[in-house]
Every structure is written in C-alpha cells, then in structure tokens.
Amino acid sequence: MNLRDYEGIAEPGDLRAIEHMAARLVGKKMLHVNSTAAGGGVAELLARMVPLFQGLGLDVRWEVMQADRPFFEVTKNIHNSLQGQGAPLTKEMWEIYRAVNIENAERIDLDADFTVIHDPQPAMFIDYRKRGLWIWRCHIDISTPVQMTWHFLKDIVKKYEASVFSVANFAQSLPITQFLMQPTIDPLAEKNVQIEDDEVRAIYERLGVPMDKPILLQVSRFDPFKDPIGVIEAYRLAKKYHDCRLVLAGGTATDDPEGEKVLAEVQEKCGNDPDIHILLLPPFSDREVNALQRGATIVLQKSTREGFGLVVAEALWKKKPVIAGDVGGIPLQVIEGVTGYLVHSVEGTAYRIRQLLENPELARHMGEAGREHIRRNFITTKNIRNYLGFWTALEKKEKVIYV
Amino acid sequence: MEEKKTFRFYECFALTTLTGRRAANIVEFVEILKSASPEAIFHHMHQYFLKPHAVMPEFPNDFAVWVSESLSEPLLAEALANINPFEFSNIEDLRSEILRIIENYLRSYPPPRPVLPGREFMFNEGITIVIPTDIEAAQIHDFVQKLKTVDYSSIYFHFYESRLRLGRPTDDFSEFLATSLDSPGVAAKIKSLDPYMYSTEVLRDKIVKLVEEAL
C-alpha cells in the first residue's frame, strides 16, 4: 500500500502536499505509541497509516505498550473519568499507572525526531523523552472531566510541544499548542473498499437477512448511549407507513456486563418481530459490516452521546443517507438536509425515516453528497497530510510557512 | 526576465489550532471577540475560502454561521454575513466593524438565549502551510489548462491570500496576465471579480471562462 494508491480518491493537492513535506523529512524518525495492537479505532488507524508513512521514506515505528489487566482497569477508569463518569482515581491506581508507564518507557526505544503518543495510557512517556518533538493525540472527549483526574493528566500533557483533538468542543484549555484534526476512514480498508452487489447479497443471505424490503441499519455496540431501544421504537413508528426491515449489528459483548444487559433489553423489545434482525458479529467482521452498509437503504446512528462516530463516515462513504443523533462529531459529518438528518427524538427519527423511504430520489442525492463530503474531508490522506503539517509547523513556528 | 514570464502555481492548506476560548451566548462572544487574537478573527472570517466544501455553508464566515445556526438570530447573521473581509486593510478595523454590528443589534433587540450545550462558539486560529508545485505555465493557453487542474487551494493562495501578501486589492493571476502575458483586458476583468461572493471552486470556473473568452 502506498500513497499513490489513493489517486482518484484523495484530492491531488493533498497528495502533492504530502510528498513535498515528506521529501524534506526522508530518513527522519517518527514514532507512534499506543496501548493496543489490535481492536479499537486507534490501532485500526495506525495499522493503515504507518505503512503509508514508511512508503514516503520516513523511518517510522509503531510501538505498543505491554501491560496486564490491572493497568487496563486503571486506564479504563481514567478514560471514564476524563469523560466525566465514575469516581476519582485512588493513589494506588495512579501508582499502577506510573509503574507501567516507567516500565514501558524504559523498554521502548524512544529515540525519534517526532513522537506521537496516543491517548492517556502512555502519556507519561514524555518524562523519558530523549529528543525531538512530542505531541499528545487525544482521541476522546475530555471537555467535562472529573477535575482531579484532569489535573493529574494536565501536568503531564503540558510537557508536550502540542496536543491534538478530534473536535474543538472535546478539548481543554492547555498552555501548549492545540491542533484540531478529525479522524478519518480509509477507503481502501476492508471495511470500506468497493465490493460487488453479488457479494453484498451473499453476505446478507449468510447473515439471514432477506433483502426483500427497504433496510434500516444501525451498526454499533449494544450500549445505552447508542439508544438501540429508541431505534426499535422509531422503526415501529415508521413501519406503520412503510414496510421495512431493521438490522441492529453489534459485537458479541461477552466481556461487557453492561452490553449484555442492553442486548437482553433489545431482544425483549424486539419480541417476535421477524423483520428485526439482531446480528452479533464476531471481532474482525469488517467485510460483513461493509456489505451490511452497502445493502442498507438508510443508515441510523441514533446516539445520545458520541465520540467522533466514524461509523457515520463509513456509511456516507457508501452513499447512504444517515439519520443520526446531533451529538459529538456527528454534526461534522451529517449536514442537515444535505447528507442526512440530525435528530433529537424517537419521533424525529421516525419522521425522517418515513421522509427518506417516501422519497428515494432525495435519499440518493443525499448519498451522493455524503460520499463527496467524506472524500473531501474525512479520508486517511488528510491525517497523513496533517501529521506532516504538525511536524513542519512545530519546527518552523510561524503562522504562514513556505515549505 | 524569463523567470518572470513563467507562472508557478502554489497550493496550501490550513492547520487549525484551538485557543480554548468558547462562548455560549452573545455577551460572552462579544467579550472574547474584544480580546481575541488577530489570527483568530482572520481565521474565522477567511477559512470558508480555504476549506474544501462538498456542501456550501449558508454564509461565508464562521461568526454569521454560528449566529444563524446556533443562536438562531437570522437578522444578526445576515448583517455579519454582509461584512466583506477583503475590504479591510487591517484586522483591527474588521474587529471594530463586527463589534459595532453586534452592539447595534443588542441595542435594538433582546439578547438571544444561550446556545444548547455543544454548540458554543470555539475561537480557533490557523497556520497556513504553503507548498510550491511543479505546475508552471508560460503561455496563456497553458495557463488556463493548468488552472483547471490545480488544487482549489491554489485559487485561494493566488487570489485571496495574495491580497494580504501584496497589501493591495489585486491577485497573482491578473498581475501575471497583465505584466507577463500582455493581456491587460482579461487581467482587469479578473481583478474586478468580487472575492467575497465566490467559493474557490466557483471562482476557478469564472476565471477559466474569462481567460477562454479572451483567447
């Protein structure tokens, strides 16, 4: 995989900018550090970006923390706490966090010209900086944190040259440069790559979903904030006017007690309706998700709370109109009345479903606009360009930089 | 002399930086605007012209869009949308004009309600990265062909940013056509285009049409 594979998809100007900036960085060392090698959006993003950086001649490494369950329990607490949920962390928890960070920072070679630390888990690596520029890439919403947790983290983060947030509203006030960079999807990845109609039909058949009626789809974890119950209620209101099917596709949730509880509620709510299909997809079902999105008539993401919500970008990329909650990063992707509709209630969702089912031409136009909106703003090459831009900007320290 | 006769296209992109300052109502907005950096005001009045748009926003500056979409004050939004940033030779005059419009409005109408959570106005700034391309033109036919292929950001750089760089209401395209290609007629027509009324994509089409008509 290399940059020129994106010709015909990415803006040609972005490809030229990337190659031009990379040319002066050839041979320089870039390091990314995160906490997991697989599973989760960050690992997915890095798995796609690192080979592209390597193809540009940069000496890029991606290092993953080694840690055991107690550390990840602590960092899950930190994660929740930064998002305003849960209790402040105890002294013992911070000790675990500190010890695992020290152990990993001493194990990993931190010699690089440009280091990107992803999320709070390895944030303390900054204390072991050897040289170069360091940025902290925050992928989560920390706008309303538990204050004690944020104060602890803030003291660490302010040692970096810069931080990067996905949405302006997700950020905190910091005495360092704060960049804005939206996450992106990779149009060439298994989850988004073009697949033929025959394969879409075959996957639907294998998953036991007939394609005989319009299909409403929501792909998400069984999480109360994704409001699957509200989705079923909206489907029922719309179904009085339009015969359709509802597909709720999510993970198996076996290691998540709360997910199991929500799934049980969803199953009860569905009753014996043969037109509702609950699909428990195993990990690494990217091809199936791709096919489900391509076979859907309308994609829903009725979240009441959301991070960036890249699943919306995935659906828009496949020319599907999206009806979604007006939260998190969704309004950046769903432009009201143009690429889909932003909704605030079950009734609003049902109304918009009826409107689009009644008017397939409108749905088609929205799908076309959605794909173009994503192509121009939310594909991998934008992130590659911006990382090189951050590197350049932090080196040059000017407002207008001629590269 | 030979070099002057070749037009080299530059492209650019903006990195957005966050200031951490946010306004949830018009009073907070005015207070922050009074002390916001010149870079922040420039960013919010100009980024429309540099951002890629698959879908055109209702108004061409961030202040007007926020007032319209989040504060739901169409009258004030229209007044702010009507400010042409390219008419101002410095940011302080532009800041004063924005404040004057809002303060006039607040003298005549009750203050609007605060925005819903998550709809606060976030004051940001921008860093522009300029990239020289290998795309060059020495003749008018070649120039117009290349103009069709460069990134939309090249139109921004040579038509909008040039006004700031050169310190006068002109652009690189008309300068080149008038001085190096001896085409003062088409140069004058391009120079007279109102930069505030077009996105870069539409502006490109306009310029291409003007040059092709002159051929």
Q: What is the pLDDT of residues B156-194, one digit of tens each?
A: 999 988 887 777 778 999 999 999 999 999 999 999 998
Per-residue DSSP letters for A73-128?
A: HHHHHHHHHHTT-SPPPPHHHHHHHHHHHHHHHHHS----SEEEEESSTTGGGGGG
Q: What is the dihedral of CA A208, A212, A218, A220, to 10 degrees?
A: 10
Question: Could you count the other beta carbons within 10 Å of the beta carbon of residue B167?
Answer: 9
Task: Verify whether the Cβ–Cβ distance B20 to A385 is below 8 Å.
Answer: no
Q: Is the pLDDT of residue B4 over 80?
A: no
The rounded radius of gyration (Å) of the Cα atoms in chain B is: 19
Q: Which residue of A has its CA nearest to B133?
A: A16
The pLDDT confidence band at residue B23, using thresholds 50, 70 and 90, is very high
What is the count of residue pairs from A and B with beta carbons less than 8 Å apart? 100
Beta strands in A175-310 (DSSP E): 177-180, 215-219, 245-251, 276-281, 298-301
Residue of A nearest to B17 (CA): A179
Distance CA(B99)–CA(B105), nearest Å, equals 10
CA distance B20 to chain A (A): 5
Q: Under 8 Å CB-to-CB from B150, ≥6 apart: which residues? A: A13, B9, B11, B133, B135
Stretches where chain A sits below pLDDT 70 are 252-257
Cβ contact A393–B127 (<8 Å)? yes
pTM of the model: 0.93
Sign of CA dihedral A280, A286, A289, A291: negative
Among candidates B53, B120, B129 on the partner chain, residue whose Cβ is nearest the Cβ of A389: B129
Are A53 and A60 in contact by the 8 Å Cβ rule? The answer is yes
**pLDDT given at position A248:** 98
Query: Minimal Cα–Cα distance from A207 to chain B, Å?
Result: 35
> Are B54 and A377 an interchain contact pair (Cβ–Cβ within 8 Å)?
yes
Give one DSSP letter per residue of B2-59, joined into a string. Answer: TGGGSEEEEEEEEEEEEEEEEESSHHHHHHHHHHS-HHHHHHHHHHHHHS--SS--SS
Q: Are the beta carbons of B13 and A389 separated by less than 8 Å?
A: yes
CATH classification number, A197-377, choose in 3.40.190.10, 3.40.50.300, 3.40.640.10, 3.40.50.2000: 3.40.50.2000
CA distance B67 to chain A (A): 16
Residues of A in contact with B130 (CB under 8 A): 400-403
Q: How confident is residue B54, by pLDDT bands cut at 50, 70 and 90?
A: low
Contact B120 A169 (CB under 8 A): yes
Instruction: Find the closest chain A residue to B11 by CA distance.
Output: A13
* Average pLDDT value for residue range B58-75: 94
Q: Is the dihedral of CA B64, B66, B69, B74 positive or negative?
A: negative
Percentage of residues in chain A having pLDDT higher than 70:
99
Contact at CB, B55 and A339, closer than 8 angstroms: yes
Residue B16: list chain A partners with CB under 8 A.
Answer: 168, 179-180
Residue B109 pLDDT > 80: yes
CB A373 within 8 A of CB A339: yes
Residues of A at the B interface, defined by Cβ within 8 angstroms: 11-14, 16-17, 20-21, 165, 168-169, 171-174, 177-180, 327, 335, 338-339, 369, 372-373, 375-377, 385-386, 389-390, 392-393, 398-403
How much is the ipTM here? 0.91
A11/B151 Cβ within 8 A: yes
Which residues of chain B lie closer than 8 angstroms to A16, CB-CB?
Answer: 11, 131, 133, 151
- Provide the pLDDT for residue B2: 42
Query: Which pLDDT score is estimated for A252?
Result: 60
B interface mutation test: which of A376, A382, A392 has the most B CBs within 10 A?
A376
Domain with CATH 3.40.50.2000 in chain A: 3-184+379-396, 197-377
- Give the residue from chain B lying closest to A385, CA to CA: B13
Option in A11, A171, A390 nearest B15 (CB):
A390
- pLDDT bucket at B1, cuts 50 / 70 / 90: very low
Domain parsing of chain B, residue ranges: 3-12+126-214, 19-125
Query: With 70 as the cut, is the pLDDT of residue B102 above it?
Result: yes
pLDDT score recorded for residue A118: 97
Contacts of B127 in chain A (CB under 8 A): 389, 393, 398-401
For chain B positions 126-145, those within 8 Å of chain A (CB to CB) are: 126-133
For B20, which of A20, A171, A403 is closest by C-beta distance? A171
CA distance B145 to chain A (A): 16
Instruction: Give me the residue from B17, B129, B152 closest to A401, CB to CB.
Output: B129
Q: What's the pLDDT tens digit per position in B118-133? A: 889 999 999 999 999 9
B118:A327 CB<8 A: yes
- pLDDT grade for B50, boundaries at 50, 70 and 90: confident
State the pLDDT at residue A17: 97
- Tell me if chain A has a CB within 8 Å of the CB of B6: no
CATH of A3-184+379-396, one of 3.20.20.10, 3.20.20.80, 3.40.366.10, 3.40.50.2000: 3.40.50.2000
- Look-up of token digits 């594979």: A5
Task: Identify the CA nearest to A233 among candidates A295, A276, A279.
Answer: A276
Q: Do B17 and A372 touch (CB under 8 A)?
A: no
In sequence order, the 6+-apart residues with CB closer than 8 A to the CB of A90 are none
State the Cα–Cα distance between residues B71 and B60, nearest whole angstrom: 17
Could you give the CA distance from residue B10 to residue A376 in angstroms, rounded to a whole number? 19
Looking at beta carbons, which residues of chain A come within 8 Å of B153?
13
Task: Flag whether residue B75 sits within 8 Å of chain A, measured between CB atoms.
Answer: no
Side chain identity at A401, as an amino acid letter?
I
Contact B83, B94 (CB under 8 A): yes
